[in-house]
Structure 1
């Protein structure tokens, strides 16, 4: 590829315009933006977007995208007119549940560094005088929120990009994308062909159509969303003019599924309080046939409840009526997150889809950094288009879950709350045994995952488990605590089948993995190594367990599809290395607890003693009649093994271990106990505790880095970094109130000021206290530092601690 690549962006909505600006500002000026409609009212979602920018989100990444959007658009003007008006945002609670929720949301923004405050009803009404304070219980004010003029902001960015060399071509309908080998080479339109080294689809709800041109699934669903404008309100007369448009805060009543903004002397009302209205792409008009194909006819019957709720909240509306309305089309995904990144199948084909105006500039900046610098400065694993498992790309799955996300967009959702349908999808070979034991399943990655077993309700240890607050009690049972204690006291089986398993083979397999991981893998067959994959900037892409099962065969315990994608992108072209996902054809049981050896040794002729089968070793053998790969690993801090076999033998493996374990008091234990036990040992969870935004030393994983290795990705970026030089640390906290089991993402305060945020949390049943891990400045991370965690608006006392909290001598694992 040339030093100055030819970039073709498909779509001149706000995302395409923002990306052209961000790319050209970084020196990539050979940028062509192709638009099927006119400029800049293109006919897509941007053309009718109401422009409300609320920054609050449980995802740090999404809040950062929105924060940058506010920052950038606040500095833009077009022909002397504003592109962003910082009127502030106000969310109101009309129920006790929502009042608690806005307290949680205030905590999120405090964690992510965005100023906000909680308000009494009277304070809320003082900010927004149209509100009836008798109807609300409280408010949540974000001063930096506001209104984006999407068309102006898009055009302003396009004009900046044009001054640097970009060109925008309207009325160019893309009809195909040419490839040479596995790379894009040109974009074909009804007006001609445009050579391209990089193609970025910013086509919005037309994205799936563009993706099909290269065989790329774009898992989004176009859905219609109601928006209405009222007649003039006397109470707003003279308050605004056509230039200012608005001065009151943008407003959300999420209990009713509604949002509001001023339109000079009128009110604009957006509603999610209606049935999902999916739209077929073949039913959407082309812009040449209809200037606003994304604006569909208003269905008045669907708005009746929204209007009644609006009049109740804003009594001034009782003298008004709906003057006009439309059903605007925009994009939803199955998990509510954008689709960003490069196709895993076609090199040079990138996507920035399902992006709302709220996050447009932030997404564009991250995309430009990704393209120009090789990595975005913000962690984007939640948004990476390659994050989905194959089953999650089924059209029926994408349709149903995207519609459900629309229905739940303003709902109060617990972090563990699963979608209810379509389920079950992926079940392991132990599933029927687990059902027989009363497993309570939640879902992750399409897998049914037991969180506890009702069969364990009679365990005497249940009586030793303390209660907890209302939110922490959801999707939890004291049975989970009993399962954790039994794991520490006897032996338990854990279903580890959903763990992503990859096989790497070939004559260059060792060299390939050595170059991509931080630890030393040049060890004898039978060795298992904990290692990290870094990006070029030294950020943690993943953590892996890598077992060398033969000279040219390795098995990797990975974190998900993004690891598979990363490895495949780096495969040598000569075919000397192969990477295969073996998850579906295999299964795994974690056998852990002080009696684990007494369970497995009688089932095999192999030596499972500490001397004969050391920690972080692997062996292929038999347990009873079942051929297994046993790895002496423990993610819970107890003696034991991960035991793998093929899926067809999974039920036999379970039965063999279960029958042999009866005299030892064996139980099956779930993910809830597992999470508690791993936090007591300080074991990290990638994507929660650390991401690409963190280096190994900050995350407490410097032990997995072998600086003496000749080369590995990210090694140069670690020069000068050590445990002693880092300025922030992932730090364990012990919460003083045993009822206060926090959820994650809460802010951490020192001397009354927010300084960090919680990543993972659980009750530590062995140590008898709630545990939270948090990112803190290094100066506040020393053990014994008093801190506070803001939890639903209250401050909970905690103290930093040395890790691991349990068995620091590692005596229980190495017995």
Structure 2
């Protein structure tokens, strides 16, 4: 995720578009790092320009399922706590309180408490009585408990913007209001200037921090920004007698009533209430009026739309039920405030490859504003951020996820689900199906249960395999949470893969074609392993950044002297390689035009060999080798790889021949009891072998040695990140395999892990990354980032508030001598 050396060697003349909390924070962070030629352009008046910052209620709840978002929020709290304007602090650490009025919500709060512990946020589950102490206006009878986070609180966003503006100006930055951007000038694929109605501003770097106007700025630059503005209701009550003695703006914790999509905060003797309970109210960013036009339409500011009473009525009933004191108060004022949502609810950050020097810092809420600004400033100045940003990278969306219809539909659903109890595997319901493999019809016939990722429909198990389920108690029953989006059929599919043979749809895995006279030298220089092998070789290797962090892991097949097929992880890999590729190297994403079937199991050779005249024996087709051949009538690229720990091949062909390939393998496999198997079994099998999943088990926050993939590094060659690895200290933490002691226990990932490590003071020693039941081993497997611990060490994983015992294990857990793969 770092910018290229060419980018960083250019000048540091920066123009930031937007003087909301993100733009002001970024100006502060950039100037603090020595980039002082910074101009911030704002179309509205300062210090309250009329965007989302101007109306934000300021709630900062730090805890999120995303480690990255939590890191952003923690830094925001830390920074805003240190700022004040005219003696007024920019942050009130009143704490946060999330309520449960249903058993399901109470269980979810235990899960959130686990996230908080994993990511370093103070918090505890409290009783209904304690909730009443913290918020005396509550009707305690409907509350089952709560999650109290004492370091959360209220950000005074406009004050924080002013404080950071003053610091940035003291270092040389300038802030110009009443400047409406009308164009972005560019030359030879690079940004050169920002055009406004009051002049043109030359720039080496332009950052769009325009909030819900982001798509407008993006269109000027020719850069797609997948962001949907939506209106959100906020109201203030009339003065309450119970708060008449209030001496401060807020004393009680900010309050969430998530079972009814509501939140509350004090405004001295009034209460402010926000609601996500109403229908989505999308706003066209191209139709939002300018500041003066909004005032002419009797709108307080462009981001503040008229209050829709009809949407408020149901929420008001819920408010009075929770806080009976509101019964006689009534609402004094309200508005529908506009702010930004993306299809996955995450910010959009990074530099566009389409227009070099054009950066995005969009879809950022006040909660994460300073943290995002710090990360983007690090990225621009140092070449990478100090936290993993792959969840926020602007390249993460597929082309199929960038249509205005998709962005609006998914963005609106994100609004609806802001406070929902969401399972980590829970997919969006619409628009589906969007992307399907050529085998989709056959998968439907087999009763595939599909989940979705990257727009792809991915079978997780097949109902056709239900008769294979062991009904004698071979698979323990699961708790209600872990049983969601799971079936015991997955165990049957895993067993069939270990005992016979199974077909896996691997089509959604990204495939790049790299060709040209310089292809070998380029890939050899960009990755960590030795790629100078003869055609037919397949190599597992890593993409690192300059600091030695793991940007991605790749499988590189040399199919010809100057032709390679690269198995990658995300669009960011294509973006990274394309940024660095010389003119004699051509890179093309071939995923959508191709497909892949994994054929794995001890009978895989028996299935495949009769279909081809080529030698598929171990001697004739070794492990990590590739051949271009035919199976029946279908031309395929066969690679002898296995991410499930069994004999087999990945078989690639063009999308138009995919269905024929499936049918050919299926018919040949009948004699061997072939089955189709899904991602649920795949994940179990890959964890039994200890195969890492990039983006989950390891990111650019980790180096290869601590992540356990140092075998893919050749220090006798030059590659990006080598110098950093050369000077790296011995790993103080490791990605560690754990086996849960109780055969019936399971965890799902992101849970805190407690270890007998001196000096932790009760804090967790680390957190779980991936977890799945190992059906071959009869235990749940959890990989976790922990201090280096010897095998046999006992630890505890906190799962919904319960401490589940586990033991550090040796890896690989299954087939350590690789005899099953290499036969």
TM-score (norm 2): 0.97
Equivalent residue number for residue 743 of structure 1:
748
Q: Distance in 2 between matches of 1:787 and 1:125?
A: 35
Equivalent residue number for residue 605 of structure 2:
597
Matched, 1:307 2:306: no
Q: Is the 8 A contact 2:496 2:502 kept in 1?
A: yes
Structure 1 runs not aligned, ≥5 long: none
Q: Distance in 2 between matches of 1:84 and 1:14?
A: 13
* Helix, strand or coil at the partner of 1:290: helix
Equivalent residue number for residue 427 of structure 1:
436
CA 1:172–1:122 in 2, change beyond 3 Å: closer, same or farther?
same
Q: Distance in 2 between matches of 1:170 and 1:447?
A: 44
Q: Identify which range, 282-291 or 503-512, moves more after superposition.
A: 282-291
Matched, 1:586 2:594: yes
Structure 2 runs not aligned, ≥5 long: 1-6, 296-300, 757-761
Matched, 1:351 2:355: no
Matched, 1:80 2:93: no
Equivalent residue number for residue 7 of structure 1:
14
Aligned equivalent of 2:489, options 469, 475, 479:
479
CA 1:9–1:641 in 2, change beyond 3 Å: closer, same or farther?
same
Q: CA deviation at 1:4?
A: 4.7
The one-character-per-residue Cα deviations of 1:669-707 (angstroms, maximum 9, x if unpaired) are 000000000000000000000001000001000000000
Alignment of 1:228-307 (within 5 A): 228-240=235-247, 244-290=248-294, 292-307=301-316
Q: Distance in 1 between matches of 2:510 and 2:469?
A: 35
Q: Distance in 2 between matches of 1:151 and 1:462?
A: 62
Q: CA deviation at 1:462?
A: 5.7
Q: Is the 8 A contact 1:462 1:478 kept in 2?
A: no
Q: Distance in 1 between matches of 2:101 and 2:424?
A: 22
Q: Distance in 2 between matches of 1:636 and 1:581?
A: 25
Aligned equivalent of 2:334, options 325, 329, 350:
325
Equivalent residue number for residue 723 of structure 2:
716
Equivalent residue number for residue 758 of structure 1:
768
CA 1:171–1:460 in 2, change beyond 3 Å: closer, same or farther?
closer
Alignment of 1:86-235 (within 5 A): 86-235=93-242
Alignment of 1:552-591 (within 5 A): 552-572=562-582, 575-591=583-599
Alignment of 1:656-667 (within 5 A): 656-667=664-675
The one-character-per-residue Cα deviations of 1:111-133 (angstroms, maximum 9, x if unpaired) are 00111111000011111111121
Alignment of 1:498-517 (within 5 A): 498-517=508-527
Q: Is the 8 A contact 2:43 2:181 kept in 1?
A: yes
The one-character-per-residue Cα deviations of 1:469-517 (angstroms, maximum 9, x if unpaired) are 1111000100011000000000000000000000000000011101110
Equivalent residue number for residue 729 of structure 1:
734
Q: Is the 8 A contact 2:191 2:355 kept in 1?
A: yes
The one-character-per-residue Cα deviations of 1:759-808 (angstroms, maximum 9, x if unpaired) are 00000000011111000011xx2111100011011111111101111000
CA 1:282–1:627 in 2, change beyond 3 Å: closer, same or farther?
closer
Q: CA deviation at 1:288?
A: 2.6
Q: Distance in 2 between matches of 1:348 and 1:738?
A: 54
Q: Is the 8 A contact 1:366 1:377 kept in 2?
A: yes
* Helix, strand or coil at the partner of 1:698: helix
Between the two proteins, the alignment pairs up a number of residues equal to 805
Aligned equivalent of 1:782, options 759, 777, 790:
790
Q: CA deviation at 1:283?
A: 3.1
Q: Is the 8 A contact 1:183 1:347 kept in 2?
A: yes
Alignment of 1:341-740 (within 5 A): 341-461=350-470, 463=472, 464-572=474-582, 575-709=583-717, 711-721=718-728, 725-740=730-745
Q: Is the 8 A contact 2:469 2:488 kept in 1?
A: no
* Helix, strand or coil at the partner of 1:155: helix
* Helix, strand or coil at the partner of 1:754: coil
Q: Is the 8 A contact 2:541 2:555 kept in 1?
A: yes
Q: CA deviation at 1:265?
A: 0.6
Q: CA deviation at 1:740?
A: 2.3
The one-character-per-residue Cα deviations of 1:159-213 (angstroms, maximum 9, x if unpaired) are 1000000000000000000001100000000000000000000000000000001
Moved over 3 A (4+): 1-4, 460-463
Q: CA deviation at 1:39?
A: 0.6
Q: Distance in 1 between matches of 2:94 and 2:553?
A: 43
Q: Distance in 2 between matches of 1:625 and 1:462?
A: 40
* Helix, strand or coil at the partner of 1:697: helix
Q: Distance in 1 between matches of 2:471 and 2:392?
A: 40
